[in-house]
Amino acid sequence: MKRRLPAEWEPQSAIQFTFPHADSDWADALDEVIPCFVACIETVSRFEKVLVACRQRAEVEVFLKNAVQENLILVECPSNDTWARDHGAITVEENGQPALLDFMFTGWGLKFPAFHDNLITGRLHEKGVFGQL
């Protein structure tokens, strides 16, 4: 099997975000952080699909009303943190075809809880989200 890690600038089907909430790492700064996430998601949605893992879809829809709705995929998933780089699937090519790798994040050596984060990729897969991209 030939496996290749595509560069971040190569064409992709979507970008994943995990939306902040009161029980995430941004609890003390939600008023400042949410507008930043919203601006990023709205901007990306003008160019490609955006997958947003969120605690409660209805809460997040209110913030993202100006995003390009046909490019927005909101999926309810519990999370500990918002750093999708620490818990999102890693996309590779296997024999020229895209494949997703799931991995276990230890929360910086178990310094921070990651039990919900480690289940996000599996939950998205179970819900059929990756087949929509």
pLDDT tens string, the chain, 133 residues long: the values are: 899 999 989 999 999 999 999 998 899 999 999 999 999 999 999 999 999 999 999 999 999 999 999 999 999 999 999 999 999 999 999 998 999 999 998 877 888 888 999 999 999 999 999 986 6
Architecture of domain 3-132: 5-stranded Propeller (3.75)
pLDDT at 1: 84
Residue spans of the domains in the chain: they are 3-132
3-state secondary structure the chain: CCEECCCCCCCCCEEEEECCCCCCCCHHHHHHHHHHHHHHHHHHHCCCEEEEEECCHHHHHHHCCCCCHHHEEEEECCCCCCCHHHHCCEEEEECCEEEEECCCCCHHHHCCCCCCHHHHHHHHHHCCHHHHC
Q: Are 18 and 120 in contact (CB under 8 A)?
A: yes
pLDDT at 133: 65
